[in-house]
Amino acid sequence: MPVIEIPVGPQHPALHEPILLRVRVRGEEVVGVDIVTGYNHRGIEWLAERNTWLKTLYIATRVCGICNLMHATCYVQALEKLNNIKLPERALALRTIAMELERLHSHMLLAAVMAEILGFESLFMLIMRDREKIMLLKELVTGNRVLSDYVWPGGVRRDIDDGIVEKIKRALDYIEKRILYYRDVYENDKLLRLRLEDIGVIKYNEALLYGLVGPTARASGVRIDVRKDTPYAWYDEVDFNMVTRKEGDCLARVLVRLEESLESIKIIRQAINKLPKGPIAALRIPPRTFRPGEAISRVEAPRGELIYHVVSRGGRTPYRVRIRTPSFTNILNSVFAYRDATLSDVPVILASFDPCISCMERIMVVDERTGEQRLEPIRKIVRKRR
């Protein structure tokens, strides 16, 4: 039987963001997949190096709408290292609460999207309905549902009072019961198990070899979590478990996220119960200039390890801002997960990585002489043209 190539994307009903999977199939069996990106590049790093430090904060926040607080916190932590800014305890606790609310709604979104791709529309609607309660809590804490602009160098912009704390507690009690229910559905529904179990398996040694991160790696048994490995914010003051599974399949990747959602609820409860008194920022006005030097900052975003490398020569603008997002490694390095799959499994496997295409995009460069393809940041392309 001949091998034919079927394009999945860049615009496809099962894909929520533009990415192209060149799927080679023999009948229904997948024999190879090539991943092509470059449809959603925005030149974030190039913009960051041509704006002031504080304007770049707003650019970093807009790298990804789902985990914008993670990007803001990661960038700001690098600035705080450059100027040796020590944050008050209350600010660290509030950052932790806000980031866990963001992790919670991101994981619920993945569970809902997976149900939608599998054709389980009622489950999709139920999860999205309950996720709205988390979005409202995020608005109460940060001032906005999605792009919050909550974090700044030295602390956070808004405080919470006892009324907000009580609303958070009541909402978390409800959400905890719902997540337990959704976990039970994914674990026991026969049709969901048929579509997810033993599909897209990533073994423990493969996850290590290809540098996978976040829930994708933890679903294959890899114990890696920045919150535990190098605690930041207030994570060294709260107790939570690192959720791992051994199966490494699509079902495991969904269940890890649902179980991590329960851990996020545990973290938020501890943080609001032990919330320290005091100011919410070390500085009344954030600095406009930063000292020469460089800093590397890491946070555990919903999809895994997020890294910012910031270089300063002093003055009002960054010299370099490099961003490595978890989807960059998880999506580009996971083509082997499609082995032994059928064509109908391809969208399911991709969705199980919780892909965020806009935050991982780089320019694809094609050598006209050799046909070689490689990914490069936009600033390299600009300099070559100059």
Does residue 149 lie within any of the structural domains? yes
For residue 295 the two structure tokens come to 């800093």
Residue 315 gets which letter from DSSP?
A: S
pLDDT of residue 364: 52
Which residue has 């939570």 as its token pair? 240
Query: What's the chain's length in residues?
Result: 386
Does residue 258 lie within any of the structural domains? yes
| Domain span at 149 | 50-324
Compute and round to an integer the Cα radius of gyration of the chain.
21
Does residue 209 lie within any of the structural domains? yes
- Average pLDDT of the segment spanning 94-102: 97
Label residue 381 by pLDDT band (50, 70, 90).
very low
pLDDT of residue 8: 87
Does residue 285 lie within any of the structural domains? yes
Does residue 302 lie within any of the structural domains? yes
Q: Are 241 and 218 in contact (CB under 8 A)?
A: no
Output the pTM of the full model: 0.91
Q: How many domains does the chain have?
A: 1
CATH code for the domain of 274:
1.10.645.10
Three-state DSSP class for residue 149:
coil
How many whole angstroms separate alpha carbon 111 and alpha carbon 65? 17
How many whole angstroms separate alpha carbon 121 and alpha carbon 114? 10
Which phi and psi angles does 227 have, rounded to 5°? -60, -30
Does residue 208 lie within any of the structural domains? yes
pLDDT of residue 17: 79
Q: Which residues does 32 contact at the CB level (< 8 Å), separation at least 6?
A: 23, 24, 335, 338
Does residue 351 lie within any of the structural domains? no
pLDDT of residue 169: 96
For residue 113 the two structure tokens come to 């999207």
What does the pLDDT look like over 48-63, one tens digit per residue?
989 999 999 999 999 9
In 160-248, the DSSP E strands lie at: none
- Average pLDDT of the segment spanning 17-36: 90
pLDDT of residue 363: 54
Does residue 28 lie within any of the structural domains? no
Closest CA to 42 of 70, 15, 62, 21: 62
Residue percentage of the chain with pLDDT more than 90: 75
